[in-house]
Amino acid sequence: MCRSERYAEASPALEFMRQSAQLRQSPGASIWREERIGLDIEEYAQAQPDWVLNYEQLSRGSFEGYFQHVQLPGVRLVSESMNCAARQRGSIGSGGIGLSLPDKLCTEAFFHGQRAGRDCVMVGRGTELDLTTPINFSHVAIVVDERLLSEVWEYSFLEPRPQWLDGQVVLDVQPATAASVRAAHARALDAITMDPRVINEYDRSIRVRDDLLLEWIKALPLRLEVSETESFVARKHLVKRVVAIASEWVDEPPTVLEICRLIGCSSRHLEYCFGEVLGISPSKYLRLLRLNGAHRDLKRLDQGSCSIHDVAARWGFWHMGAFSLEYKRQFDELPSTTVQTRRTFGSRVESTCSAL
């Protein structure tokens, strides 16, 4: 039996799925919507509700980002766009599985060291996120409670949730399938934005959630052979090790050659591994790592606690003139401006669904 036939056969189970007490969870579950525009990458990362994220700005210029989060029972809907290239690392919550699909993508993204094009679905557990995105990137995503995902999968396809959903995977999908998911995601967000009853009335929110969740799941394969080669695992491990070493020695940053001697690899191999895993050279990434660290510290700098010079030295920048010039090229403002300026965000809209 083909996939479409199995889905059609399972579709009558949708009404039963919506009536399942376990699937619906508690009627008093929190339902809300939040929308933000961020003009500082550090504050933007920290503003994402309930998530612990660190964003590193990889391209030059003033940062501008936008996100919309909608929390429905067991599922969070996400839409995000950024004008600067960035690396996102952190956690988007335990017990959840994230699905992401690029919307606007000028070049490839990198998801846990795997290349992702525009018509690729990125799948990963919420406990660990590692996503490197290019300039002018946007995507749509959902984060699903794994128990809910297991139930929906079983009701839809009459078999248990596959094990590959517990890993970090990039899946190529047909352009028409990707377009269908993007359109369904946009319709759901538009319905929630234009009609407050969707987040104020529990039954409406469940209908929107289930329809969108099924659209995402239909884009996934029933079975997938996932086999990370030893060389792929070794490349990811090497990049992770180099970043850890550089993070420990930020005040006296080692050169690429010193790192190569320390870990026992050639500079050519190191260049290759960083290009394959992050799409950037090691020397450029490690310098940007320190610039972003200085930027974070300057955002938190209290009057009288320490000076801009102290922060620069802490991150291995000893010549203030050169540091100020490089900092301005990267963030489009002087270090002193960062200290003096407190960015603001756009609108926040929140609604909690009360118990029925």
For the segment 3-59, what is each residue's pLDDT rounded down to a tens digit?
444 444 444 444 444 444 334 444 445 789 999 999 999 999 999 999 999 999 999
Full-model pTM = 0.86
C-alpha span between 75 and 96 (Å, rounded): 9
Q: Is 224 left (phi over 0), alpha (psi -120 to 50) or beta?
A: beta
Report the top-level CATH class of 3-218.
mainly beta
- Neighbouring CB atoms inside 10 A of 48's CB total 21
Report the top-level CATH class of 230-339.
mainly alpha
Distances (CA, A) of 319 to 35, 50, 85, 327: 40, 39, 27, 12
Are the C-beta atoms of residues 64 and 45 closer than 8 Å to each other?
A: no
Mean pLDDT is highest, among 18-22, 169-173, 196-200, 337-341, for 169-173
Pairing of strands 120-125, 86-91: unpaired
C-alpha span between 97 and 74 (Å, rounded): 11
What confidence category does residue 98 fall into, taking pLDDT thresholds of 50, 70 and 90? very high
Are the C-beta atoms of residues 274 and 243 closer than 8 Å to each other?
A: no
For the segment 286-340, what is each residue's pLDDT rounded down to a tens digit?
999 999 999 999 988 876 678 899 999 999 999 999 999 999 999 999 999 998 8
pLDDT at 72 over 70: yes
From-to residues of CATH 2.60.120.10 in the chain: 3-218
Higher pLDDT, 159 or 131: 131
Higher pLDDT, 344 or 207: 207
* Tokens 């270090």, located at residue: 335
| Beta-carbon contacts of residue 155 (< 8 Å; ≥ 6 apart) | 10, 13, 14, 16, 17
From-to residues of CATH 1.10.10.60 in the chain: 230-339
For the segment 220-266, what is each residue's pLDDT rounded down to a tens digit?
988 887 766 677 889 999 999 999 999 998 888 999 999 999 999 99
pLDDT at 206 over 70: yes
C-alpha span between 13 and 315 (Å, rounded): 57
Are the C-beta atoms of residues 41 and 57 closer than 8 Å to each other?
A: yes
C-alpha atoms less than 13 angstroms from C-alpha of 337 in its C-beta half-sphere? 11
pLDDT value at residue 269: 95
For the segment 110-153, what is each residue's pLDDT rounded down to a tens digit?
999 999 999 999 999 999 999 999 999 999 999 999 999 999 99
pLDDT value at residue 106: 85
In the numeric block, which tokens belong to residue 81? Answer: 């766009």
pLDDT at 156 over 90: no
